[in-house]
C-alpha cells in the first residue's frame, strides 16, 4: 500500500476506536469537572510575544482570573501562550487543551492544568462544555471554527447563554459586516438578534466586562434559558442533566401550549 493511501478500517478496528474516543472523554471530564467557571480564549498560534494582541490576551486572562474565572486555551504558542501566561501569573487556573498535530502544536510552558487530545471533536467539546464565556482574538481557521461553534450552540440554545467577545475590530469587523450585510441583509439566513450574540471591541477591559455581565445575568436566571434567535420561545420543556432543553426529535411536531 502506497504511503498516504486511504485504507478502510474493519468493524473490529472501528469498535476499538470508540473505546479510545470514550477514554479521551472520560479523562478530560474527570479533570475539567473540577476547574470551575472558566473562559475559553482563542487566537492565532502565530501571534508573536510583544505584539499588541499578545499583550491584550495576556492582560485579558489576568483580569479574568482576578474576577475568579479559570482560563482555557488550546495550549499552544501565540495567543494561547499569552492567555495561559496571564492566568498563571495571576495565580489562577491556566488550562491547556493540547492536541497532537503532525506539524505545529508545541505546548506552551504556562499551563498548570494540561490535557492532551488525539481528536479535535473531543477537544472542542471541552472548550465549550466548561466555558461560561469566550474571548476570540485574531486567528486562523481554528479560531474561526471555535467562534462559529459558539454561535451555533448559542443560536440553537444547545448551550446556556454566555458572553462572546471578539477583540480586534480591524480583524473581526469585515466578518461582522459580511454577516450583517450578506448573511442577514441579502440572504436572510440569520435573524437580527443573532448579531447580538457577540460583542465586537478593541478594549480588553470591555471584553472582560461583557463576559462577566453575561455570566451574572445567566446565573440570576431560573428555569430554561431565554430565546436568543428572535423566534417565539417554545413551550416549557423538560431539562437535560446539563440544564438544556431537550430538542424535538426529527419528524415530530412540537406541541403547542404548555
> What pLDDT is stored for residue 101 in this prediction?
80
Residue 142 CB coordination number (10 Å): 18
Convert the pLDDT of each residue in 71-128 to its tens digit.
Answer: 999 999 999 999 999 999 999 999 999 998 876 668 999 999 999 999 999 999 999 9
- Residue 63 above 80 pLDDT? yes
> What pLDDT is stored for residue 4 in this prediction?
55
d(CA 63, CA 74): 19
Percentage of residues in the chain having pLDDT higher than 90? 73
Question: Residue 236: which pLDDT band, with cuts at 50, 70 and 90?
Answer: very low
Q: Is the pTM of this model over 0.75?
A: yes
Question: Residue 228: which pLDDT band, with cuts at 50, 70 and 90?
Answer: very low
d(CA 103, CA 109): 18
> What pLDDT is stored for residue 234 in this prediction?
41
> What pLDDT is stored for residue 12 in this prediction?
79
In the block, residue with C-alpha cell 505545529: 104
- Residue 235 above 80 pLDDT? no
**Mean pLDDT of the 184-212 span:** 98
- Residue 203 above 60 pLDDT? yes
Range in 63-67, 137-141, 172-176, 217-221 with the lowest mean pLDDT: 217-221
d(CA 168, CA 152): 21
d(CA 172, CA 175): 5
Question: Residue 14: which pLDDT band, with cuts at 50, 70 and 90?
Answer: confident
- Residue 225 above 90 pLDDT? no
> What pLDDT is stored for residue 60 in this prediction?
98
* Mean per-residue pLDDT of the chain: 87
**Mean pLDDT of the 16-37 span:** 95
Say which CATH architecture domain 22-220 belongs to.
3-Layer(aba) Sandwich (3.40)
List the grid coordinates of 87.
492566568
Question: Residue 252: which pLDDT band, with cuts at 50, 70 and 90?
Answer: low
In what helix (H) or strand (E) does residue 217 lie, and over which residues does it extend?
helix 204-220
Contact assessment for residue 40 and residue 74, using Cβ atoms and an 8 Å cutoff: no
Convert the pLDDT of each residue in 145-174 to its tens digit.
Answer: 999 999 999 999 998 899 999 999 999 999
Question: Residue 2: which pLDDT band, with cuts at 50, 70 and 90?
Answer: low
Amino acid at each position: 500500500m502506497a504511503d498516504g493511501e486511504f485504507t478502510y478500517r474493519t468493524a473490529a478496528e472501528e469498535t476499538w476506536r470508540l473505546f479510545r474516543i470514550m477514554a479521551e472523554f472520560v479523562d478530560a471530564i474527570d479533570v475539567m469537572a473540577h476547574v470551575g467557571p472558566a473562559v475559553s480564549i482563542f487566537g492565532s498560534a502565530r501571534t508573536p510575544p510583544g505584539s499588541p494582541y499578545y499583550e491584550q490576551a495576556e492582560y485579558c486572562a489576568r483580569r479574568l482570573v482576578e474576577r475568579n474565572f479559570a482560563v482555557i486555551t488550546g495550549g499552544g504558542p501565540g495567543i494561547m501562550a499569552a492567555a495561559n501566561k496571564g492566568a498563571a501569573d495571576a495565580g489562577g487556573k491556566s488550562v491547556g487543551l493540547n492536541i497532537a498535530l503532525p506539524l505545529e502544536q508545541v505546548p506552551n510552558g504556562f499551563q498548570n492544568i494540561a490535557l492532551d487530545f488525539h481528536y479535535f471533536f473531543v477537544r472542542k467539546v471541552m472548550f465549550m462544555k466548561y466555558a461560561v464565556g469566550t474571548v476570540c482574538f485574531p486567528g486562523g481557521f481554528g479560531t474561526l471554527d471555535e467562534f462559529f461553534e459558539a454561535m451555533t450552540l448559542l443560536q440553537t440554545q444547545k448551550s446556556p447563554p454566555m458572553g462572546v467577545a471578539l477583540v480586534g475590530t480591524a480583524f473581526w469587523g469585515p466578518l461582522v459586516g459580511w454577516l450583517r450585510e450578506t448573511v442577514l441583509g441579502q440572504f436572510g439566513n440569520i435573524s437580527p438578534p443573532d448579531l447580538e450574540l457577540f460583542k465586537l471591541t478593541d478594549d480588553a477591559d470591555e471584553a472582560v466586562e461583557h463576559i462577566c455581565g453575561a455570566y451574572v445575568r445567566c446565573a440570576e436566571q431560573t428555569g430554561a434559558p431565554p430565546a436568543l434567535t428572535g423566534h417565539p420561545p417554545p413551550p416549557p420543556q423538560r431539562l437535560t442533566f446539563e440544564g438544556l432543553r431537550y430538542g424535538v426529535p426529527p419528524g415530530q411536531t412540537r406541541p403547542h401550549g404548555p
